Amino acid sequence: MRRGPFHRLNEFITLTQEELNAFRGMTSATLKLSRDEIVRAQGDSVTELYFVIDGWVAASVGLPDGKRQIIRVHLAGDLLGAPSLTLPRAMESLVALTPATVDVIPLQAFGELFNRMPRLAAAMFLTSQKERVALIDRIVSIGQTKALQRISAFLLHLHDRLKLIDPRIDKTFELPLMQQQVGDLLGMTMVHVNRTVKAMERNGLIHRKGRCWTLRDIPALRELSAIPERNFVREPEWLFTPRVEQR
Amino acid sequence: MRRGPFHRLNEFITLTQEELNAFRGMTSATLKLSRDEIVRAQGDSVTELYFVIDGWVAASVGLPDGKRQIIRVHLAGDLLGAPSLTLPRAMESLVALTPATVDVIPLQAFGELFNRMPRLAAAMFLTSQKERVALIDRIVSIGQTKALQRISAFLLHLHDRLKLIDPRIDKTFELPLMQQQVGDLLGMTMVHVNRTVKAMERNGLIHRKGRCWTLRDIPALRELSAIPERNFVREPEWLFTPRVEQR
DNA sequence: CGGAAATTTGAAATCGCTCAATGATAGTGG
DNA sequence: CCACTATCATTGAGCGATTTCAAATTTCCG
C-alpha cells in the first residue's frame, strides 16, 4: 500500500479521488530544497501557499534585535504559509531543516477551491484548527512550564506527529534540529537546552546518539509535559451529514 | 449608521446580505452572561461554536498543577471555540470577563455552511488564519521578549483590536482584566506584572486610573513591543475573482 | 586528517518567582 | 450614606531558574 503525504489530507474527512486530484492539481511547481534553503522569507509579498511532500520545514519569525522564534516544525502533509494569507507581506520565514520537497500552490487556485470543492475547503478549515491547537499547546508550554517540561512536551508532540506519518516509528526518531533551534522553538537558550537535555539523559528519560533521540520513558515524559496527548476526531458527524440522517 | 459585531464578518470579504443572514440564521440561542460565567468548560464535549455579540470573553487552558494560561481575549465579532472542533472534548474554557452576549452556533448548521455559502466559508477560513497570526505573535512575545516588551505588545494589540470595533477610541480604553489575568495571558506572575506596569507609569509610557488605561507614548510602546502592527488585507484578489478578469 | 560547526561545561549576573505583609478599592447590607 | 468585607494592587526580601559570557571538547564533513 502506498504511504505518502496525501494521507494527511484525509486526516479529518475521507476525500474522494476527485478531490485529491483537485488538490494535487493546484500545484504549479515542485521545489527540491536542500538544508537551510529558504522557501519564502519573512517580509516577502504573499503570492503562494506551500505543501510539504517530504522533509522538514521550519516556520520562524525574526525579531529586530536578531532573536528568532521558530513557530512550527512542518512535516510531510502540512500546508505552509496560510497565516500570511491575511497579510500583504509574510510574517514568517519558511526554511528547509532537511533536504525537502515542497509543492507550490498559487493563491488563485487555492481560492477557487472554496467554490468547487466544499469538502476540501472544510478539510483545510479543520487542518487550520488543528494548527491552532498546536500553537495553543505551545503557548501553554512556554508560558507556564519550565525547561524540563517544555522539552518533554516538544519531544512527545513530535513523536506523535511522526507516528501519524509513519506508524512504524517506535520510541526512536531522528531529530534534524540543532540544540540552538530547539531553543528557538521553546523560547530558551541553547545552553539551557543542553543542560536540561543532559539531565534528562542522566535521569533515564531519554537517550541520544547524534541526531537520533530515544524516548525511554514515555509515561514519565507525558506526566512531565503538562500537555495531554491530543486525539483528534475523524469524520465529524456534523460535516456533510444531511439532517435527515440524524436521529 | 449601525455599528455592530457583524461588521467584523466583513473584515476580509464583503459579504452579501444573504450571506450575513445565513450566518445569523445559524444561531440557535443567545446567551446573556454575567462576569466570570462559563460559556463552556475545558473537557466539555464539543457540540457548539460561539460568536461574541458584545462583552469580553477569555479562552483559557488549565494545567494539572492549577496554573492557567489565558490563550486569547475575545471581543465582539469573534468566533469562539473553533480549535476544539478537531477534538472530542474542548481543550479550552470560555469564560466571560465582563457581562457579555454570545450567540450559540450548532455544529450541524456550521457544517452546512461549507456547502451552501462558499464565500462565508472562505471568510471563516481567513478569520482562522488571522487568529493564527495572533497566536504566533504571542508565541514570539512570550518566547523571546521580557516583561516590559510583552506588556507593551499586549496593550498595543488590544488597542488595535478595540479600534477596529470602535474607531472612536483614542489612546484610552477600559481593560477589564485584573493583573492576575494579565499575568496568566503573558506567562508571568501578577507580582511581576504589577512591578513592570508601575515602572511603565513612572517612565511615562502609560497611565492608569482604575481599569482605565491610557497609552501615553504609542511610538515608544511600539518600538518596545518587538511585534509590528499587523495590517490585514481586504478583499484579497485571489478569492472569487474569475481568472478572466485578471490581467 | 583538518577545520568548521555543534555540543558541553563553568561561573557570574539577571530576571522573574515565591512568600509574606500592607495598602487601596469597590461592592454590599444595614 | 457609611462601615464592612472581600478582592485587588502594591511593595519588600530572598531564592531559583535561566541567561550571558567564555572557554573547552566533541562531532561532522570534506
What is the average per-residue pLDDT within B184-188?
Answer: 98
Residue A4 has pLDDT above 60, yes or no: no
Q: Is nucleic acid strand D under 7 Å from A210's C-beta? A: yes
DSSP class of A175: -
Residue A246 has pLDDT above 90, yes or no: no
For A161, the grid coordinates are 506527529
Residue B63, strand partner residues: none
The widest CA-to-CA distance across chain A, in whole angstroms, is 60
How far is the alpha carbon of A18 from chain B, nearest alpha carbon, in Å? 17
pLDDT, residue A73, reads 98
In chain B, residues with a C-beta closer than 8 Å to the C-beta of A118 are 114-115, 118, 121
Tell which strand C nucleotides have any atom below 7 Å from a protein Cβ: 6-11, 15-20, 25-26
Residue B247 has pLDDT above 50, yes or no: no
pLDDT in tens, B149-185: 999 999 999 999 999 888 999 999 999 999 999 999 9
* A contact test, residue of B13, B49, B130, B132 with most A CBs within 10 A: B132
Residue B240 has pLDDT above 90, yes or no: no
Q: How long is the CA B100 to C1' C14 vector, in angstroms?
A: 42
Q: Which residue of A has its CA nearest to B183?
A: A143
Q: Is nucleic acid strand C under 7 Å from B9's C-beta? A: no
Q: Is nucleic acid strand C under 7 Å from B146's C-beta? A: yes
Residues 143-162 of A with CB under 7 A from strand D: 146-148
In chain B, residues with a C-beta closer than 8 Å to the C-beta of A240 are 111, 114-115
Residue A140 has pLDDT above 90, yes or no: yes
In chain A, residues with a C-beta closer than 8 Å to the C-beta of B138 are 139
pTM metric for this prediction: 0.95
